[in-house]
């Protein structure tokens, strides 16, 4: 590795070399953490020494018991190279006292007197060597040197003055210095140095994010950096995640080998520190060490460079432990944390890694931690704790039932299907009926839309035994919602709704479910629905978790009843507090439906896109509420991309007939936009029969009738178009929401000729006065009709339509109106008379003039006249052009 940002250190070392060549001794210690570049600086001294004699030694913990082992590493090579005469000269006089050091049969632990004499001899010997040639002693990992060698080096360092001898040693951070010295401490590399090094290694200018990741992960430590760079392919942004999660095997192996050389008490402290991962106060206790032993072990770890705060070091320590040993350490650590009063979540997180059965205390800790996680908005974390607790309780106990209920409460926020399943497993384990009922009402009513029959039967069974009034209301809410997609079991909700006052949470929940049934079946007028839903919503505090209750049913009811403004501030507050993806997605879906019915299609479209980007329909719960709302939005906006997203996000599961028909309705809308009008019409008619069969008749929630009217017209069957529009209008009037009535009346007026149709369009404009989007569409039809009739009011109405379309964010509608204003519109078929409509429709169906004349009981001459007038108005010349001309007259954007 090239030396970067070490210029000052190298200057100091070079000056020391110059001094030793001039006959002046010096002593320098290079210190710092593992991998900071100490050894590299020693290598730089060796490279710059030139003709100066360099003697080197690398200390090791395995050789600490080898007396004078470091002295021999340093001096043996010089003695081996020297001739016999030189060796005799060097050992002459006091240096001869060192001869026993170099005998292989010397005692491992020499007596004090013998050691003292040997040290004096070694000092004399070293001076003799330096007298012949300036000498540099380089010692790496000095902290592992044997004690006799340390004492020799200490005395030698104090007697260097006047001798051409340089002593340079590298040692760990915080190590006691055995002699007075000049200290050099290499600093971590800066991001600039890292960038330069990366460029040198790869030949490519690194990305700034890549450099930042390297600096964050390694802290500028050269050893760690070198290990990281050896595992990346290029310094590009796509490598940043790889860098941040990298644990280089080569580095891990080096650290594991280094750990094995440490004394047992130091290894135990390292293991304890790694297992506790941040709770270092208890590490000594976990390792079974006294305070004094722990301090000594900690010093040894620091000297060795095992900074346990680094992920790579912790990984290496854990790597050194066999699976069984690691499990044992984890089990002891988690009990120690519990006994010392650490927070339940901290203890629970560690319990997840323990496979043995810790004891009864662990279950209570896991439940407490789950409750804490749930309060802070982390239901998936809570579920993990509870699943761990379930492993240690008997399969048929009430304790298991309570844990299953707790788990179900957490799961309803991200996996309601599992929530329902776990509740139904828990209920039979309770002996008390009230506990069974209390468990069942933890299931959100809307989670039961696709519940299997056994679940519904279980709710019915417990409801029949329950004696608690409040629980009775809540059980009834679930009963009714579970069966509300079954026409044979969907009872009239209105009488029961009138009996419920809504004073308790249970009553309010039941009222929301009954109200939803009344909305779908349109058995209660929209104004009355709006009044009840508004009162009920005002009793609820805005909160994001309402999406897992019956409250979304109230919001859907308000929008369908054309009272959507009531829900806007409520949803805004709920969204501002939402933290989970599911909550945000489902609230956005509700907002989309509400915004559409407030005449804000642009905002509605954005909210729908946001909901789908958050994968609302990929959620594993009941998404009927969200799907129906988004389907209504997509059909009204006629956006192929939005329709495609909803369809592609549909859950892969069997659904009740009504829910399935909602998605099929959207399929038909997609076919219509693709120009497959006949297939689309057939699909919508099939959906309509299914929806009518299950009793779902609301024309605002399920706008299939209006859509069939448009398709009949595009296929040239104007009589069928009027009939479908009239049916839609009848249902809208029965429901009573202005938005539904106005939409149906606009479509019916469009396909009704002469003054009757014009009057309908005028009425639609008035009815839709509070909805800028719907009013703009009605004004467009009115203006186009008036322009065809030469009415001077046409321009005014078209200008007003354009203004409202822009105001509501309906870009495509504004473009369509602008074309009409510029006179570039292809015209509209409603300029035809009623008879011309009828004749044109029969031509499109393939009848000849004679067959049409017979059908209408008129002459063939009359049919020819009607067709001539129709061709002139539509700007065509032959019969084959008639279907396309009629389709152009009814563009799908209106």
Give yes or no for residue 279 having a pLDDT over 90. no
User: What is the pLDDT at residue 325?
Assistant: 87
**Helix boundaries (H) for 102-248:** 112-132, 147-157, 191-202, 208-218, 222-229, 240-244
User: What is the pLDDT at residue 834?
Assistant: 65
pLDDT one-digit tens code per residue, 408-418: 999 887 787 78
Structure tokens at 768: 């839709």
User: What is the pLDDT at residue 430?
Assistant: 94
Q: How confident is the model at residue 889 (pLDDT cuts 50, 70, 90)?
A: low
Share of the chain above pLDDT 70, in %: 90
Q: How confident is the model at residue 422 (pLDDT cuts 50, 70, 90)?
A: very high
Pairwise CA distance, residues 562 & 739, whole Å: 6
Give yes or no for residue 616 having a pLDDT over 60. no
User: What is the pLDDT at residue 824?
Assistant: 52
- The CATH code belonging to domain 7-184 is 3.40.50
Neighbours of 113 (CB within 10 A): 8
User: What is the pLDDT at residue 726?
Assistant: 95
Better-predicted residue by pLDDT, 669 or 412? 669
Taking residues 664-689, report their average pLDDT: 92
Residues 6 or more apart from 571 whose CB is under 8 A from it?
A: 542, 555, 587, 590, 591, 594
**Helix boundaries (H) for 539-580:** 551-560, 568-576
User: What is the pLDDT at residue 89?
Assistant: 93
Give yes or no for residue 217 having a pLDDT over 90. no
User: What is the pLDDT at residue 357?
Assistant: 77
The C-alpha angle 706, 712, 715, rounded to 5 degrees, equals 145
Better-predicted residue by pLDDT, 415 or 22? 22
β-strands 182-184, 135-140 pairing: unpaired
Q: How confident is the model at residue 611 (pLDDT cuts 50, 70, 90)?
A: confident
Q: Which of 128-142, 245-259, 630-644 has the lowest mean pLDDT?
A: 245-259
Q: How many helices (H) and strands (E) does the chain have?
A: 46, 5
Which SS3 state, helix, strand or coil, does residue 840 take? helix
Pairwise CA distance, residues 25 & 23, whole Å: 7
Q: Starting at the edge strand that comes first in sequence, how are the strands of the sheet with 26-32 ordered?
A: 53-58, 135-140, 165-172, 26-32, 182-184
The C-alpha angle 243, 245, 248, rounded to 5 degrees, equals 75
Taking residues 363-384, report their average pLDDT: 91
What's the Cα-to-Cα distance from 630 to each of 230, 599, 609, rounded to whole Å?
Answer: 51, 15, 10
pTM exceeds 0.75: no
Structure tokens at 579: 């933290």
Q: How confident is the model at residue 263 (pLDDT cuts 50, 70, 90)?
A: confident
Tell me which residue of 58, 321, 40 sits closest to 186, measured CA to CA: 40
Taking residues 375-400, report their average pLDDT: 90
Give yes or no for residue 795 having a pLDDT over 50. yes
Q: Does domain 832-889 have CATH number 2.40.30.10?
A: no
User: What is the pLDDT at residue 617?
Assistant: 46
Q: Based on C-alpha coordinates, what's the Rg of the chain?
A: 43
3-state secondary structure 471-485: HHHHHHHHHHHHHCC
Pairwise CA distance, residues 260 & 269, whole Å: 13
**Helix boundaries (H) for 49-111:** 69-81, 84-90
Indicate the domain borders of the chain: 7-184, 191-246, 255-343, 611-828, 832-889
What's phi and psi for 153, nearest 5 deg? -65, -35
β-strands 182-184, 26-32 pairing: parallel
Taking residues 368-386, report their average pLDDT: 91
Q: How confident is the model at residue 572 (pLDDT cuts 50, 70, 90)?
A: very high
Pairwise CA distance, residues 91 & 552, whole Å: 97
DSSP string, 414-450: T-HHHHHHHHHHHGGG-SSHHHHHHHHTTS-GGGGTT
Taking residues 106-114, report their average pLDDT: 60
Q: Which of 177-181, 516-520, 750-754 has the lowest mean pLDDT?
A: 177-181
Pairwise CA distance, residues 446 & 513, whole Å: 9
pLDDT one-digit tens code per residue, 435-459: 999 999 888 887 776 667 788 889 8
Taking residues 516-533, report their average pLDDT: 93
Average pLDDT, the chain: 86
Pairwise CA distance, residues 230 & 117, whole Å: 50
Give yes or no for residue 175 having a pLDDT over 80. no
Taking residues 328-351, report their average pLDDT: 89
Tell me which residue of 18, 130, 25 sits closest to 74, measured CA to CA: 130
- The CATH code belonging to domain 611-828 is 1.25.40.10
C-alpha torsion sign, points 125, 131, 135, 137: positive
User: What is the pLDDT at residue 172?
Assistant: 77
Give yes or no for residue 335 having a pLDDT over 60. yes
Pairwise CA distance, residues 423 & 401, whole Å: 8
Give yes or no for residue 758 having a pLDDT over 90. yes
Place of tokens 């909550």: 583
Q: How confident is the model at residue 893 (pLDDT cuts 50, 70, 90)?
A: very low
């Amino acid at each position: 590795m090239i030396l970067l940002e070490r210029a000052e250190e190298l200057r100091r070392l070079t000056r020391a070399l110059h001094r030793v060549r001039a006959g002046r001794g010096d002593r320098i210690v290079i210190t710092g953490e593992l991998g900071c570049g100490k050894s590299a600086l020693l290598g730089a001294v060796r490279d710059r020494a030139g003709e100066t004699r360099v003697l080197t030694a690398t200390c090791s913990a395995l050789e600490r018991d080898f007396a004078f082992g470091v002295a021999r590493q340093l001096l043996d090579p010089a003695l081996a190279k020297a001739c016999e005469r030189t060796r005799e000269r060097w050992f002459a006089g006091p240096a001869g006292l060192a001869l026993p050091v170099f005998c292989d049969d010397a005692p491992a632990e020499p007596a004090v007197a013998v050691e003292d004499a040997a040290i004096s001899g070694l000092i004399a010997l070293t001076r003799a060597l330096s007298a012949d040639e300036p000498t540099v002693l380089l010692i790496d990992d000095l902290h592992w040197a044997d004690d006799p060698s340390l004492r020799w080096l200490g005395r030698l360092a104090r007697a260097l003055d006047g001798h051409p001898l340089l002593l340079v040693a590298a040692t760990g951070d915080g190590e006691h210095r055995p002699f007075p010295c000049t200290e050099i401490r290499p600093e971590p590399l800066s991001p600039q140095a890292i960038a330069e090094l990366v460029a040198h290694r790869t030949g490519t200018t690194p990305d700034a994010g890549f450099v930042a990741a390297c600096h964050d992960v390694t802290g500028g430590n050269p050893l760690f950096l070198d290990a990281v760079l050896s595992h990346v392919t290029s310094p590009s942004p796509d490598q940043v995640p790889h860098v941040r999660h990298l644990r280089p095997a080569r580095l891990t192996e080096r650290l594991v080998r280094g750990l094995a050389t440490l004394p047992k008490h130091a290894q135990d402290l390292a293991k304890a520190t790694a297992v506790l991962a941040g709770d270092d106060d208890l590490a000594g206790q976990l390792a079974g060490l006294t305070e004094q032993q722990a301090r000594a072990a900690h010093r040894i770890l620091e000297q060795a460079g095992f900074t346990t705060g680094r992920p790579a070091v912790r990984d290496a320590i854990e790597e050194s432990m066999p699976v069984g040993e690691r499990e044992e350490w984890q089990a002891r650590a988690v009990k120690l944390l519990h006994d010392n009063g650490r927070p339940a979540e901290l203890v629970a997180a560690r319990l997840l890694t323990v496979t043995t059965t810790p004891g009864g205390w662990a279950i209570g800790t896991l439940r407490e931690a789950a409750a804490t996680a749930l309060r802070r908005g982390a239901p998936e974390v809570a579920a993990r704790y509870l699943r761990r607790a379930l492993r240690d309780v008997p399969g048929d106990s009430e304790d298991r039932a309570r844990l299953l209920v707790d788990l179900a409460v957490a799961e309803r926020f991200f996996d309601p299907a599992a929530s329902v399943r776990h509740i139904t497993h828990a209920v039979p384990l309770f002996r008390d009926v009230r506990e069974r009922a209390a468990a069942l009402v933890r299931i959100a009513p809307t989670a039961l839309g696709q519940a299997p029959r056994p679940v519904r039967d279980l709710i019915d069974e417990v409801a029949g035994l329950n004696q608690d009034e409040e629980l009775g209301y809540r059980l009834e809410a679930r009963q009714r919602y579970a069966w509300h997609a079954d026409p044979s079991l969907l009872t009239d909700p209105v009488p029961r709704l009138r009996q419920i006052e809504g004073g308790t949470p249970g009553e309010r929940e039941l009222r929301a479910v009954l109200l939803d049934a009344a909305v779908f079946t349109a058995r209660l007028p929209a104004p009355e629905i709006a009044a009840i839903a508004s009162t009920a919503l005002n009793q609820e505090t805005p909160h994001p978790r309402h999406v897992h209750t019956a409250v979304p049913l109230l919001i859907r009811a308000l929008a369908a009843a054309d009272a959507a403004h009531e829900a806007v501030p409520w949803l805004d507050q709920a969204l501002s507090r939402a933290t989970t993806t599911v909550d945000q997605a489902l609230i956005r879906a509700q907002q989309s439906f509400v915004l559409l019915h407030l005449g804000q299609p642009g905002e509605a479209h954005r909210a729908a896109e946001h909901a789908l980007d958050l994968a609302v329909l990929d959620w594993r719960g009941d998404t009927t509420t969200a799907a129906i709302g988004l389907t209504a939005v997509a059909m009204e906006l006629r956006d192929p991309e939005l329709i495609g997203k909803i369809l592609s996000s549909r859950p892969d599961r069997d659904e009740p007939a009504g829910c399935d028909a909602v998605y099929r309705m959207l399929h038909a809308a997609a076919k219509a936009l693709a120009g497959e009008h006949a297939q689309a019409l057939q699909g919508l008619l099939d959906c309509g029969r299914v929806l009518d069969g299950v009793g779902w008749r609301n024309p605002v929630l399920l706008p299939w009738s209006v859509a069939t009217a448009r398709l009949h017209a595009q296929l040239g069957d104007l009589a069928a178009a009027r009939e479908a529009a009239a049916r839609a209008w009848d249902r809208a009037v029965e429901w009573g929401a202005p938005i539904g009535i106005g939409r149906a009346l606009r479509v019916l007026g469009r396909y009704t000729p002469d003054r009757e149709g014009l009057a309908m369009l005028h009425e639609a404009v008035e009815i839709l006065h509070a909805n800028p989007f719907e009013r703009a569409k009605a004004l467009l039809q009115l203006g186009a009709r008036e322009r065809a009739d030469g009415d001077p009011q046409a321009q005014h109405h078209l200008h007003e339509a354009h203004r409202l379309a822009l105001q509501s964010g309906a870009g495509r509608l504004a473009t369509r109106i602008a074309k009409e204003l510029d006179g570039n519109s292809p015209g509209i078929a409603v300029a035809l008379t009623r008879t011309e409509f009828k004749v044109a429709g029969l031509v499109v169906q393939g009848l000849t003039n004679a067959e049409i004349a017979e059908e209408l009981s008129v002459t063939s001459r009359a049919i020819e006249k009607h067709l001539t007038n129709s061709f002139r108005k539509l700007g065509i010349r032959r019969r084959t052009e008639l279907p396309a001309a009629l389709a152009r007259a009814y563009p799908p954007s209106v």
